[in-house]
Structure 1
Amino acid sequence: MDYQLDLDWNDFLARYWQKRPVLLKRGFKNFIDPLSPDELAGLALESEVDSRLVSHQDGRWQVSHGPFESYDHLGETNWSLLVQAVDHWHEPSSRLMRPFRHIPDWRMDDLMVSFSVPGGGVGPHLDQYDVFIIQGTGRRRWRVGEKIALKQHSPHPDLLQVAPFDAIIDEEMEPGDILYIPPGFPHEGYSLENALNYSVGFRAPNARELVSGFADYALSHELGSQRYSDADLVTREHPAEVQQSELDKLRGMMLELVGDPQHFNSWFGEFISQSRHELDAAPPEPPYQPGEIYELITAGETLQRLGGLRVLRVGDSCYVNGEAMVTEQMQAADALTRHTTITQEMLGEALEDPSFLALLCALINNGYWYFND
C-alpha cells in the first residue's frame, strides 16, 4: 500500500517539530494495517528480531525479552508485545516510513510496532528522541504532559517511568490518527481494546556517541599520530603546573583532527549510515554477475532497496550501511540514496561504466538491493 500522509509539512515543522506535541486526527485516511497481530507475534519468535513483552498485574511490572516460544501464558488484559525495527523484516511495514522522509533520512531510525490488549502499555515515561505514533487497528488512549522536570523511577530494571503528570493532550486515538511527541515530553498510552500501534522513531546522537565514534574512526585510519611538541619551552617557577598555553595547544591538536572536513565527513557518513538493528539481508544464490545485472535492468526490471537499509549522501560522497560507495558516477549513486525503487532511467549512462556496474553488482550480492518479482 502507498501511504499518503495528510500533513502540511512546512506548517508542522515551523509550529511543532521539536517544540510541541500534536495529535493529527486522520493523518492517514482509510488506514490499513500493513501487518496483523499474528504476523507481529511471528516476528518476535525469531532470534534476530529485538522484541519484548511488558505486563503489569496487581501493581507489579514485568518485562521479558524475545525470542519467544509461546504466548499461551498471557491473559486477556494488561500486556503489550513490542517489536523493534519491523521495517527491516516486513516490507509492507517499511512503506509506513516513506511519508516521513520530509525529515532527513539520517535522522530517521526505525519502525517499532506494538500489539496491546486492553490495559496494555509500558507506563508513563519520556523519550529523548522524536516519535510519530500511528494508531492502527483498535483504540488506545494517550496522555501527554508538559516538558517539565519529573522524577523518574524504575519499577523494573528494564523500565524507566516518570511520576504522574498533568495532561496537555488526553485523547482516544483511532485508526489513522497520529500523535507526534518531541523529546522530553512525558507520555503514556494504554489500550482500550486489542490494538496495533506503529512508532516512527528518530535518531538524536549525543556528544558522547559522536566523540566515541570519531575516536574509533581515527584509530582505524591511524589519524592523529603527530605528537605534542614544545621547542619554545622555558623554565617555570612551579614545575607541577600545566600552563594555559599548553592546554590550549593540546586542545588545538584535538580540534584540528575533528576540524578536518574531509575526515569528518567521511567518518560521519560511515557512522550515521550504519543500522542500529540487524538487517534482513538475503544475498542471492548463486551471486549475480555484472552482465546479468545489466541485462535485467535494461530489460525493464526494477531494483528495490532492502527495508531498513541506510543509504545517505554526505557532501560529494554516498554511503551505504557504514561503507562509502566508491564511484565516479555520482548521479547514479545519488539516485540510489534518493529513491527506494530504482529504474534503468535513474541509473542512466552509469550502466555502461564497468566499474559502476561492478559496484552495483556487489551491492545486490550483499542483499542490499533486490529485483522486484
Structure 2
Amino acid sequence: MIIEWKDLTPELFLEQYWQKKPLLIKGAFPDFNDPVDPDELAGLAMEDMIESRIVQRLGNEWNVEHGPIPDFEPFGDENWTLLVQAVNHWFEDVDSLITPFRFIPNWRIDDVMVSFSTPGGGVGPHLDQYDVFIIQGSGKRHWRVGKPDHGLQNLLPHPDLKQVSAFSSCIDVTTEAGDLLYIPPHHPHDGVAIDNAMNYSIGFQAPNPQELFGGLADYMLDEDLYGKRLDDSQRSYTDSPEHLSTKDFQHIKNQMQHVLNNEDMLEDFLGQHLTSVHHALDVGLPDDPISIDELPDIIEQIIEDDGALEPVLGIKTLVIEQRKLFINGERFAIYEETHDLAFAMANKQHLNSELLKSAMSNLKNLELLTRVINIGLWQLA
C-alpha cells in the first residue's frame, strides 16, 4: 500500500505542507477497501479495555457516550458517530495503514483511530493539537478545513466535547474511498457523513515541554536519580534574606542544567517516554517465563515447523545512536552481535526461521529474545 502523491513526493510534502497547511489528495489510495467493518468496530467498542465513544447530534444539542457500548439500537439510523482509538492494536490490516507514512519517525506516531458515521454524523467543528492523516473508507464525507484563527471561540456543547465557532474554509470537499486528507495542528475542521461512512485517522502527536519535564521528573524519581540536596557549603553572609541572589539563582540553574547535560540519562528517559503506549495492547504473556537455557529448544521447534515469532500489534520502537533499542518503554542495549536482530525488532519484523536460526549463534541474541518473549512483545505466530 503506497500513496499516489500526484505531483508531490514525501520530501516535498514535508517541505511544503507538514505542520504548515492542509492537503487533500484525491484517489491517494486507489481501490481502497476497508480493513475493518462496522460490526467489527462495534465489537471493539463493547470491550472495557478499549477506548471508544459515540458522539450524537440531537438538533442543536450534542450527546457523548463513552464505551463500553453494549447496544447501538437506541442511537437510530442517523446523526451519530462511533469513534474507537488504537484499532491498529487489534487488526493487522489497520496497523498496515501506518506503513505509507513511515517517512515520519516512529516516535511521532500515536495510533489509528477508526470511526463509523451514520448520515449526518460527526463531532462538530473543532481543532486538534496534533497532525492527522484521514483516509476515507467506504461512504462519503463532507469536509471543511480552515486556517488557524486566534479569533475562534472555544465552545463546550457537552462536558466531553470541545468545539469551536464558525470558521472560513480553505478546503471544502466531499471525500470518497481512497481519498487522503492531511490536517496540521490548530487548523479548524468539520467532517459530516453524507451516508454511512468509515474513516481512518492516523494521528501524529508530539510531546510538549510540560509532558517532557513532568515525565523527566517522574523518571528521576523512579530511577532514584539526582536525589541529593543542593550543596551551598560556600554560602556567604547576607543582610537581605528576602532576596534570591544572582549567585544563588545561577547555582540552582547550574544544578538543573547539569541534569539536562547528562545525555546518557536523557537518552534513556526519552527512549522510555517516547515509546510508552497509552492504549491497551493484545499482549499475551507466557504461562511460565522461559529461561535462556530453554530457548534454543523452542527456536528449534519453530524452525522445524517453519514458524515465526511475531510482534504484538501497536508496539512502539525507537533506536538511539545505534546503541540503544527501546520497545514500549523497555531499554535494550545493542551490541555488535545483536545488531541484526535488534534492528529487525526495531522495524517490527516477524522473526522467521532464517533470522531465528542465525540469532541462535550467540548468547546475547538469546538473552534479547528471552526478554522480549517473557514480557510478551513477540509471540508465536
Q: TM-score range by the shorter chain?
A: over 0.9
Once the 2 structures are TM-superposed, how far is the Cα of residue 340 of structure 1 from its aligned partner? 3.0
Aligned residue-pair number:
370
Unaligned 5+ runs, structure 1: none
1:176 to 178, 188, 191: 178
Decide whether the 8 Å contact of 2:273 with 2:329 is kept in 1. Answer: yes
Point out 4+ residue stretches in structure 1 off by more than 6 angstroms: none
Deviation at 1:71, TM superposition (A): 0.8
Opposite residue 255 of structure 2, the aligned amino acid is M
Q: Conserved in 1, the CA contact under 8 Å of 2:318 and 2:326?
A: yes
The whole-number CA distance in structure 1 between the counterparts of 2:175 and 2:98 is: 20
Measured on the aligned residues, the alpha-carbon RMSD in Å equals 1.7
Percent identity reads 41
Partner of 1:39, secondary structure, is helix
CA distance in 1, matches of 2:254, 2:197: 55
Q: 2:329 aligns with which of 322, 335, 347?
A: 322
SS of 2:75's equivalent in the other structure is: coil
Corresponding residue of 2:113: 112
Contact 1:281/1:367 (<8 A) preserved: yes
Whether 2:3 is the aligned partner of 1:5: answer: yes
Indicate the residue corresponding to 2:240 in structure 1.
Answer: 238
Question: Which one-letter code corresponds to 2:115 in the other structure?
Answer: S
Shift of 1:287: 6.1
Q: 2:369 aligns with which of 360, 365, 369?
A: 360
Within 5 Å, give how 1:52-91 maps onto structure 2. Answer: 52-91=53-92
- Find the residue that maps to 1:294 and give its secondary structure: helix
| Cα shift readout 1:162-214 (whole Å, capped 9, x = no counterpart) | 01000000000000001000100000001000000000001211111101111
Q: CA deviation at 1:101?
A: 1.1
Aligned counterparts of 1:227 and 1:359: Cα–Cα separation in 2:
37
DSSP-derived class of the 1:80 partner: strand
- Provide, for residues 206-248 of structure 1, a one-character-per-residue CA deviation record: whole Å limited to 9, x for no partner: 1111011110111112111333223433223322211012111
Q: CA deviation at 1:255?
A: 1.5
- 2:347 corresponds to which of 338, 341, 344: 338
Q: 1:367 and 1:227 mapped to 2: Cα distance?
A: 39
**Aligned-partner residue type, residue 273 of structure 1:** T
Aligned to 1:273: 275
Distance, in Å, in 2 between the alignment partners of 1:179 and 1:91 is 22
Which residue pairs with 1:36 in the alignment?
Answer: 37
Any conservation in 1 of the 2:325–2:331 contact (CA below 8 Å)?
yes
Query: TM-score, normalization: structure 1?
Result: 0.94
SS in 1 for 2:82: strand
Residue type of the alignment partner of 1:4: I
Structure-1 separation of matches of 2:277 and 2:301: 29
Q: Which amino acid aligns with 1:10?
A: E
Distance 1:245 1:78 in 2: 63
Helix, strand or coil at the partner of 1:167: coil
The answer to whether residue 292 in structure 2 is matched with residue 294 in structure 1 is no
Match of 1:165 among 156, 167, 172: 167
Q: How does 1:192-203 map to 2 (within 5 A)?
A: 192-203=194-205
Single out whichever of 131-140 and 245-254 deviates more from structure 2. 245-254
* Residue identity opposite 2:332 in structure 1: M
Distance 2:85 2:53 in 1: 9
Displacement of 1:56 = 0.8
Aligned to 1:312: 318
What is the match of residue 218 of structure 1? 220
Aligned to 2:211: 209
Shift of 1:366: 3.1
Which of 267-276 and 112-121 deviates more? 267-276
Conserved? CA contact 2:2–2:29, under 8 Å: yes
Shift of 1:371: 3.3
- Is this contact kept in 2: 1:293–1:361, CA < 8 A? no
Which amino acid in 1 is paired with 2:159? Answer: P
Aligned partner letter, 1:219: L
SS at match of 2:56: strand
> Does the Cα contact within 8 Å between 2:325 and 2:334 map onto a contact in 1?
no
Q: Is the 8 Å Cα contact of residues 77 and 120 (structure 1) preserved in structure 2?
A: yes
1:17 aligns with 2:33: no
User: Does 2:158 correspond to 1:152?
Assistant: no
d(CA) in 2 for partners of 1:160, 1:254? 37
Distance verdict in 2 for CA 1:365–1:226, change over 3 Å: closer
CA–CA distance in structure 2, aligned partners of residues 312 and 26 of structure 1:
32
TM-score, normalization by structure 2: 0.92
Taking a change above 3 Å as real, the CA distance of residues 110 and 4 of structure 1, as seen in their structure-2 partners, is same
Q: 2:39 is paired with a residue of what secondary structure?
A: helix
Quick one: distance in 2 between partners of 1:112 and 1:320? 21
Q: Quote the Cα distance in structure 2 between the aligned partners of 1:106 and 1:246.
A: 38
Secondary structure of 1:352's counterpart equals coil
Please tell me whether the aligned partners of residues 296 and 360 of structure 2 are also in contact (alpha carbons under 8 angstroms): no
Structure 2, unpaired ranges of 5+: none
